[in-house]
Amino acid sequence: MPDMDEGGFVIDYFMPWGTSLEETDRIMQQAEAILRATPDVEGYSRRTGARLALAVAEPDHGDFLVKLRPDRKHSTEEVKQELRRKFNAAFPQARWEFPGILGDLIGDLTWSPKPIEIKLFSTDTAWLMKKAPEVKQAIEQVRGVVDTFDGLKMTGPSVSFRIRPIDAQRYSMTSDDIAAALNTAMLGQTASSVLEGDRVVEIRVKADPRDLNRLDTLRELPIRTPAGGLVKVSQVADITEEGGQLELAREDLRQLVAATAALENRDMGSAIAEIKQTLAADKSIPQGVIEFGACSSSSRKVSATSWSCSCWPLHSCSLCS
């Protein structure tokens, strides 16, 4: 995107994975106090557990849409820099990004939300988990690089049920029978419906949540057999809890993790050149493993591109000036 002062910007925030909606909201209320205390900010709106992008929003992240005063004393970029320093100092547990309004929208639609994107391709998940933080640390040393992220997104812990076929057959049960019973107990099954206003609301029958919040109680959960008897889950299945796993993306069927970053007071061309030089010095990265995406992959084409711009009213665009 060309440089422009839109009179506002977006703040994307990401709490550590697994953070509850209540805790995320508590921290963001403190962030709102900083926004209200900033003289150049006229107003803002916040979303938590929701987002504009075409993706699932988890309760540990969301965004602010910040509108600046028309008579402000500082530019949009200067306000972003001030808030970046304050937020990172006050809330080091959170990750913050400060994209422009139009740039954030285009980035979400093209699935490349950051100006700098360094893609690491490998089938070795352990190597990706080790190398991505090293790449993040390396590009942090480059002047002007801010809002770095190693790209490692972890999913929450999961509970696995492993059916013991011989024990299940002893009670004339199959894996599908046990899975259906557990699915009904934990997620519920529609038994009826009720009309509320002009909407039909389903009534779901499920087990008491107090019987599902611990592994010990899950093991004691009763399942009815085809003969009408009752057996405990522990009599036909082993229950284990697995820790968080790495969320992986793929491009052209290739497994990847993408480290990302933004820029502050530096042009894209020189920053990308220095980043490439820095990473080329790392002999532990095989050839063909790294690719540059997002804006960085097309920055070489900008000078040869014919731009046409239709700016919003009251927005000052460098292309139209």
Question: Does pLDDT of 318 surpass 50?
Answer: no
Predicted pLDDT of residue 321: 38
Q: What tokens appear for 186 in the block? A: 């934990």
Condensed to tens digits (0 to 9), the pLDDT of residues 166-211 reads 999 999 999 999 999 999 998 888 989 999 888 999 999 888 888 8
Same fold, 1-112 and 114-153+249-321: yes
Is residue 111 very low, low, confident or very high in pLDDT (cuts 50, 70, 90)? Answer: low
Predicted pLDDT of residue 304: 38
| Ranges of each domain in the chain | 1-112, 114-153+249-321, 158-242
Question: Does pLDDT of 96 surpass 50?
Answer: yes
What percentage of the chain has pLDDT greater than the value 70? Answer: 88
Query: Residue 77: what are its φ and ψ, rounded to 5°?
Result: -65, -40
1-112 CATH pick, 3.30.70.1430, 3.30.2090.10, 3.90.1170.30, 3.40.50.170:
3.30.70.1430
Condensed to tens digits (0 to 9), the pLDDT of residues 56-87 reads 778 888 999 999 999 999 999 899 999 999 99
Predicted pLDDT of residue 315: 38
Predicted pLDDT of residue 57: 78
**Does the global pTM surpass 0.85?**
no
What is the identity of the amino acid at 310?
A: S
Condensed to tens digits (0 to 9), the pLDDT of residues 7-40 reads 899 999 999 888 889 999 999 999 999 999 999 9
158-242 CATH pick, 3.30.70.3270, 3.30.2090.10, 3.30.450.20, 3.50.50.60:
3.30.2090.10
**114-153+249-321 adopts what CATH topology?**
Alpha-Beta Plaits (3.30.70)
Mean pLDDT of the chain: 84
